[in-house]
Amino acid sequence: MEEKKVKLRIYGMTCDDCVRTISSSLKKQPGVLDVKISLQEGTGEVKIEPAGLSPEGILKNQVFSKGSHYKATLVE
């Protein structure tokens, strides 16, 4: 199975609870294989299965949607 690492810049994280909320939501997204988030750097690394999820698709996760104070952009 092909894998791809996508780096995110994540805005709005202030504590470990934020990290858990975002990680948990991303891990439930179809096509996501693994998630690592750095609160200190405000970044995330998401391992995806490109056949099932595009990098842009990660940004459409519920946790980054309108109304949420967490936002993200692609770094790579």
Partner 1 sequence: MSEEIKHFDLVILGHGAAAFSAGIKASELSSGEMSIAMIGTGPLGGTCVNVGCVPSKYLLEASHRVFRPKHPKMEGIYETNVVHDFSAVMKGLRSYVKQARESKYVDVMRSYENVALYEGLARFTDRKTVEISDPKGKKIGKVSGSNILIATGSRPSIPNIDGLNDAGFLTSDTIWGIDELPSSIAIVGGGAIGLEIGQALLHFGSSVTVIEALDSLLPQTEPEIGSAIRALLEKEGMKFYMKARVSSVHKSSKNKIVEVITHKGRERVEVDEILVATGRLPNTDTLNLDAAGIKTDPRGQVLTERSMKTTSPGIYAAGDCVSKRLFLETLAAREGVIAVSNMFGEDLRIDYDSSTWAVFTYPQIAGVGMTENEFSRKNGSCSCRTFPLSNLTKASIIGETEGLIKITVDPKDNRVVGMHIMAPNATDIITEGAYAVQNGYKINDIIATSHIFPSMSEGIKNAAQSFIRDLSMMSCCME
**Kind plus residue range of the DSSP H or E element containing 32:** strand 32-38
Please choose, from the candidates 63, 39, 54, 68, the residue with its C-alpha nearest in 3D space to the C-alpha of residue 4. Answer: 54
d(CA 9, CA 39): 11
Which listed residue (5, 20, 60, 62) binds partner 1 by CB under 8 A? Answer: 60
Does 9 sit near partner 1 (CB under 8 A)? yes
HSE-up of 71 (CA within 13 Å, CB side)?
5
Which listed residue (4, 12, 33, 49) binds partner 1 by CB under 8 A? Answer: 12
Smallest gap from Cβ 15 to partner 1, in A, equals 15
| Residue 24 or 73 with smaller CB distance to partner 1 | 73
Residues that bind partner 1 (CB under 8 A): 9, 11-12, 42, 56, 58-60, 64, 69, 71-76
